[in-house]
């Protein structure tokens, strides 16, 4: 993948949007001491060039009793000649159950995040779809039991600062 050439102004906009995707163009312009038109033009270019892929709301589903099951699956594969891990990763990420796929270093080659309505559905995905892909040697499935922090946000109630008193 070719590196994207971006200036400091564009980087600052990305950092602001990463923290708060609901911020207005006016507020970004004020923070950067710039014109609203320049901000709009830069954001439009970043969207067109697929640097900004989407705007996302992060929801603490555990608080609203959302019952979806998530699993992290370590996958060991034999890379294909000429395409390495890319062809296998593409095969995996095309499944609708798969929310993320990462190439890893270490004992396993891919880390796959899967979401489904039940443990049985996720287990069937692993055994009937993922494990049967050509060149998949083995899988290890870890079911997520509780989330404490996600994308930099604490997901637990009653977060107290745990500082020692100064004496």
Topology of domain 61-146 in CATH is Alpha-Beta Plaits (3.30.70)
Q: Which of 94, 160, 161, 100 is closest to 129 using CA atoms?
A: 94
Q: Which of 89, 73, 75 is closest to 144 using CA atoms?
A: 73
* Residue 162 φ/ψ region, left for φ over 0, alpha for ψ in the -120 to 50 degree band, beta for the rest: beta
Domain boundary assignment for the chain: 8-48, 61-146
Residues whose CB is less than 8 angstroms from the CB of residue 88 and which lie 6 or more positions away in sequence, other chains included: 77, 79, 80, 110, 133, 134, 135, 136
Topology of domain 8-48 in CATH is Arc Repressor Mutant, subunit A (1.10.10)
pLDDT tens sequence for the chain (167 residues)? 788 999 999 999 999 999 899 999 999 999 999 999 999 999 999 999 999 999 988 777 777 766 789 999 999 999 988 888 999 999 999 999 999 999 999 999 999 999 999 999 999 999 999 999 999 999 999 999 888 888 787 887 765 656 666 76
Residues whose CB is less than 8 angstroms from the CB of residue 67 and which lie 6 or more positions away in sequence, other chains included: 117
């Amino acid at each position: 993948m070719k590196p994207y050439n971006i200036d400091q102004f564009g980087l600052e906009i990305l950092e602001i949007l990463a923290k708060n995707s609901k911020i207005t163009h006016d507020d970004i312009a004020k923070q950067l001491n710039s014109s609203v038109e320049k901000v709009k033009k830069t954001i439009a270019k970043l969207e067109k060039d697929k640097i900004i892929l989407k705007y996302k709301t992060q929801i603490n589903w555990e608080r609203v009793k959302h019952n979806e099951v998530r699993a992290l699956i370590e996958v060991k594969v034999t890379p294909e000649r000429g395409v390495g891990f890319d062809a296998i990763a593409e095969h995996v990420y095309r499944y609708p159950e798969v929310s993320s796929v990462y190439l890893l270093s270490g004992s396993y080659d891919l880390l796959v995040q899967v979401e489904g309505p039940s443990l049985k559905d996720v287990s069937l995905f692993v055994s009937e779809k993922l494990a049967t892909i050509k060149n998949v040697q083995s899988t290890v499935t870890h079911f997520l039991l509780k989330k404490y922090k996600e994308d930099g946000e604490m997901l637990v109630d009653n977060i107290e600062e745990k500082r020692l008193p100064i004496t």
